Amino acid sequence: MCHKEFIISKKQHLTELGRGNYLRLIRDGRWEYADRVNARGAVAIIAATSEQQFVLTEQFRHAVKRSVIDLPAGLIGDVVGEEDERSEVSALRELVEETGFHASKLTHLADCPSSPGLTSEIVSYFLARKVTRVSQGGGVEHENILVHTPKIRSIKSWIRKQVSAGKLIDPKVYAGLYFLSTQ
Amino acid sequence: MCHKEFIISKKQHLTELGRGNYLRLIRDGRWEYADRVNARGAVAIIAATSEQQFVLTEQFRHAVKRSVIDLPAGLIGDVVGEEDERSEVSALRELVEETGFHASKLTHLADCPSSPGLTSEIVSYFLARKVTRVSQGGGVEHENILVHTPKIRSIKSWIRKQVSAGKLIDPKVYAGLYFLSTQ
């Protein structure tokens, strides 16, 4: 296969340097970044049970070759036929798919760039209190997600144990702890 | 220009789908992610003055077409001749380059993936208390960085104002607030 660098917009100096099934690499003047091709954005859910447990996920991430502890999170509009899905609907769907927990109410907290030096992705953060378990979770298709429900009051020592076991902590987890303590 | 998809490793099923000056797009089996080509990693500094001001940056990010409030942060090993720079040295350098603040002591807090669903980048977080202003900051070369020093105790209303003005908040800022309140 042979790709041409594809000029997207001469006026905006946008060039596509490469494209896969999920991401494309864009040059924008002097800048370069990864852009999702199959989704309109992403959601992350800061979920706590009424027993003050924090609902977290663990999955192996090929990009970093490590297991990563994260908030339940996923893409908006990546399901065929559901491209116009609202972010709140994506958040409820991802929470139950990944963790088996259901939220009766979501509060939108913030829209944050994932890593704006290298990607256009924006993540919408939602808060869900008093979530209840309705199924096993674990994700869909090829996803293989472990669910953790550590107590928030002893989260520092729990995180320390995860790091000692070789896992990485996504910074969304720390952002989530900030929101849990201030909202 | 015409690129071939470049097989990096048949055994690991790694293919390069595109390459720029700073990033390359990798396919790893079913997975795709962006990989930096000019740096070994990144650093972010959670810096506070003795007056309990939080040292933050603001810069326009082309990937999201918005100004983003962030921790002072930068790459490790992206300076020609300094490719083996230690992460602590990068952190001290970036803090003073971007903000004009000097730290006499750094504490390493965590190594976190930027966004492990789409990039291999790992960010090392450092805490710097009692930083002191030694220069203007603003960044190097093409960087055009504004420095903010909001009071930590009124950070929620300060952030609300920034968001109302159309700026995005990098989640590293919220992670930083968690670490400031717990370390």
**pLDDT per position as a tens digit, A15-73:** 999 999 999 999 999 999 999 998 889 999 999 999 999 999 999 999 999 999 999 99
Residue A180 forms contact with B (CB below 8 Å): no
Distance from the B173 Cα atom to the nearest Cα atom in chain A, whole angstroms: 8
**pLDDT per position as a tens digit, B122-169:** 999 999 999 999 998 887 777 789 999 999 999 999 999 999 999 999
| Dist. CA A77–CA A83, nearest whole Å | 4
On the question of pLDDT at A78 being above 90, the answer is: no
Q: What is the pLDDT of residue B1?
A: 44
Name residues whose C-beta falls within 8 Å of residue A86's C-beta, 6 or more positions apart in sequence.
none
What is the model's pTM? 0.93
Pick from B31, B64, B160 the residue to mutate for testing the A interface (most A CBs within 10 Å).
Answer: B64
Residue B122 forms contact with A (CB below 8 Å): yes
Cα A168 from chain centroid?
Answer: 15
| Dist. CA B180–CA B183, nearest whole Å | 6
End-to-end Cα separation, chain B, in angstroms:
51
Buried b (16+ CB within 10 A) or exposed e, B76-94: bbbeeeeeebebbebbbbb
Distance from the A135 Cα atom to the nearest Cα atom in chain B, whole angstroms: 24
Residue B72 forms contact with A (CB below 8 Å): no
**Residue A138 is encoded by which pair of tokens?**
């674990």
End-to-end Cα separation, chain A, in angstroms:
51
Q: What is the pLDDT of residue B78?
A: 78
Q: How far is CA B63 from CA A114, B66, B154, in A?
A: 11, 8, 30
| Dist. CA B170–CA A172, nearest whole Å | 10
Residue B123 phi/psi, 5-degree rounding, is -110, 125
Q: Scan for tokens 């965590």, then name that residue.
A: B110
**pLDDT per position as a tens digit, A148-172:** 999 999 999 999 999 999 999 999 9
Q: Which domains occur in chain A, in start order?
A: 6-36 (no CATH), 41-182 (3.90.79.10)
Residue B60 forms contact with A (CB below 8 Å): no
Q: What is the pLDDT of residue A98?
A: 95
Q: What is the pLDDT of residue B4?
A: 55
- Picking from B55, B130, B53, the residue whose alpha carbon sits closest to that of residue B98 is B55
Q: What is the pLDDT of residue B9?
A: 72
- Hey, are the CB atoms on B19 and A20 less than 8 Å from each other? no
- Residues A58, A67: contact at Cβ < 8 Å? yes
| Dist. CA B23–CA B142, nearest whole Å | 18
pLDDT along chain B (183 residues), means of 10: 63 88 95 93 97 97 97 88 85 95 96 96 97 88 89 97 98 98 91
- What percent of chain A clears pLDDT 90, i.e. is strictly above it? 78
State the pLDDT confidence band at A95, using cuts at 50, 70 and 90.
Answer: very high
Type and span of the H or E element at B95 = helix B87-99
Residue B106 phi/psi, 5-degree rounding, is -120, 140
| Dist. CA A173–CA A159, nearest whole Å | 10
Q: Which residue from B16, B27, B174 is facing A175, i.e. has the nearest CB? A: B174
**Residue A165 is encoded by which pair of tokens?**
């076991």
- Hey, are the CB atoms on B63 and A120 less than 8 Å from each other? yes
Q: What is the pLDDT of residue B55?
A: 98
- Residues B88, B103: contact at Cβ < 8 Å? no
**Residue B40 is encoded by which pair of tokens?**
């070994």
Show the DSSP H helices in A46-165 as ranges: 87-99, 155-164
- Hey, are the CB atoms on B116 and A3 less than 8 Å from each other? no
**Residue A177 is encoded by which pair of tokens?**
């702890």
- Over residues A129-142, the mean pLDDT reads 87
Q: What is the pLDDT of residue A136?
A: 85
Q: What is the pLDDT of residue A1?
A: 44
- Hey, are the CB atoms on A113 and B170 less than 8 Å from each other? yes
Q: What is the pLDDT of residue A4?
A: 56
